[in-house]
A and B are shown apart, each in its own frame.
Chain A
């Protein structure tokens, strides 16, 4: 691991300022992704600002009937919270489908959103990767691309975002709250937090250097069937090949009347197409056609659109029979 200096921040504002003051500085919270990448020489921060002792670790009701999740609430605690289990089942399910018990005890809400891709070429420092070394090229385009993106990708990058939690939060229309080094705060809809790779795949979010996520706010609960379906290479402790977070509400006739569908494993960010959800009365194929419009596959991941279609159809069938 490259040498770095280290400090313990005393408050969110102090942490934001400390990271903004040094171009090579990074926040560290759970560290389960960052330290792994530092050991491999993929991340090389010159200064770490430890935010583990600045509070932001509570889950509290909001005035509109939702919940505000502190940035440092650990994934295990969020998944086990009785309010999350009762009212936001899709989020509890997504969290529990990710990582291991040990990792969920450390991984934080904000850190989960900001985790880096698991593209094999991002991890292989001997290979080109525009995300790791801008301008070096993308080895995945002609390489082993089974895990890579089929939607929203570019010629510069076909990486996917690995989070399960973020997919459920996208289905729930969560809002990400931040504090900036100048002390100002803002709210970013989760749909806008992650960028598509375009020609700058190293720029993964809209956050500025030193801008610290302080909380994720969930809107009031949506009654209905909450599902998280994750297809992966082994039964537990593996990243999604394709995953689906769905919240489905049935009408009087027993058919799905409204549905929200957010996919993981397909793109550089959780993939949700609200326009497709308005076609839910026409059945799963019509919805999938719109969700997957413009999909571009490689020879290794050509199965992904079909898998996504089947996940969506299965979710709607399950809702109808409930």
Chain B
């Protein structure tokens, strides 16, 4: 490996023990990743199949492995972030069967047969997702750490709103929903931004909603 190819993640991986095996047709998102097969230690492994960003993957996993850790550590899909690891910050938000969830608070084994979309799978081959474009145009971030979770949450949230699902900010539970800024803020409250880019995040989501995005 040439020195320029050594990054923080490679070093961390070579130091850690990955007690897992992966049989993947292809690596979703990162074509170059080769997942090593290490001897199985500890508790019995659980066979789990997922479809991640359109590709089928099969694992034998320690039952403790969260969906978040499978994505980041085993599939190298590091766009999904580990913020608090306890469901409070939303940085780990992905879509499971089209619904937004905190990937840190669910075991991978609980998702056998499920379809997962991460930030790496959101854009189409032809270009950025409209929410990604809107976040850039509206400057909806500073450090960017929460951004993948914000965008994944927003994409699913807009679909929920399109279906007419109410929120805590909805005055009339049976009326047609109007996606006001107050509605957007309430529906995005599961995603924390320590840089407090909230006004621009709301503006970006409003732009994408008005453009019929997501």
A→B interface (CB under 8 Å): 1, 3-6, 8, 28, 30-32, 35-36, 39-40, 48, 50, 52, 76, 79-80, 82, 85-86, 89, 92-93, 96-97, 99-103, 105-106, 235-237
Contacts and interface: CB of A to CB of B under 8 A. Distances in A.
B163 interface: yes
Nearest to B182: A235
A312 B166 CA distance: 25
Given A1-B64, A5-B43, A31 B189 contact: no
Interface in B84-140: 85-87, 90, 93, 99-102, 105-107, 109-110, 112
Contacts of A1: 64
A6 B187 CA distance: 34
A236 B186 contact: yes
Given A101-B153, A102-B102, 16 more contacts: A1-B64, A5-B43, A52-B110, A76-B165, A79-B165, A85-B166, A89-B173, A92-B166, A96-B170, A101-B156, A101-B157, A102-B100, A105-B100, A236-B185, A236-B186, A236-B189
A100 B90 contact: yes
Given A101-B160, A105-B100, A236-B189, A32 B105 contact: yes
Nearest to A237: B189
Given A100-B190, A102-B100, A39 B85 contact: yes
- Interface SS majority for chain B: loop
B166 A79 contact: yes
* 5 A-B pairs closest in CB distance: A100-B190, A236-B189, A6-B63, A237-B189, A85-B173
Contacts of A96: 166-168, 170
Q: What class of interface size applies to chain B in its complex with A?
A: 35 or more
A35 B63 contact: no
A97 B90 contact: no
22 contacts: A31-B106, A32-B106, A36-B105, A39-B85, A52-B110, A79-B166, A80-B160, A85-B173, A85-B174, A86-B173, A86-B174, A93-B173, A96-B167, A101-B167, A102-B93, A102-B100, A102-B153, A102-B190, A105-B99, A105-B100, A235-B189, A236-B189
B44 to A, nearest CB: 6
B131 to A, nearest CB: 15
Interface in B68-86: 85-86
Interface string B183-202: 00111111100000000000
Nearest to B42: A3
Contact of B106 (A4, A35, A48, A82): A35
B174 A31 contact: no
Interface in B22-66: 42-44, 46, 62-64, 66
Interface of B: 42-44, 46, 62-64, 66, 85-87, 90, 93, 99-102, 105-107, 109-110, 112, 153, 156-157, 160, 163-168, 170, 173-174, 185-191
Contacts of B174: 82, 85-86
A3 B166 contact: no
A93 B173 CA distance: 8
Contacts of A8: 109, 112
B86 A100 contact: no
Contact of A4 (B64, B86, B100, B186): B64
A28 B109 CA distance: 11
B173 A3 contact: no
A97 B189 CA distance: 11
B65 to A, nearest CB: 10
B90 A102 contact: yes
A101 B173 CA distance: 16
Given A3-B43, A100-B189, A32 B157 contact: no
B53 to A, nearest CB: 19
Contacts of A6: 46, 63, 107, 109
A100 B189 CA distance: 6
Contacts of B62: 3
Contacts of B185: 236
A236 B88 CA distance: 12
Contacts of B100: 101-102, 105
Contact of A80 (B90, B106, B163): B163
Given A6-B46, A85-B173, A80 B189 contact: no
Contacts of A50: 109-110
B66 to A, nearest CB: 7
A99 B101 CA distance: 12
Contacts of B109: 6, 8, 50
A101 B87 contact: no
A106 B102 contact: yes
A4 B102 CA distance: 22
A305 B88 CA distance: 29
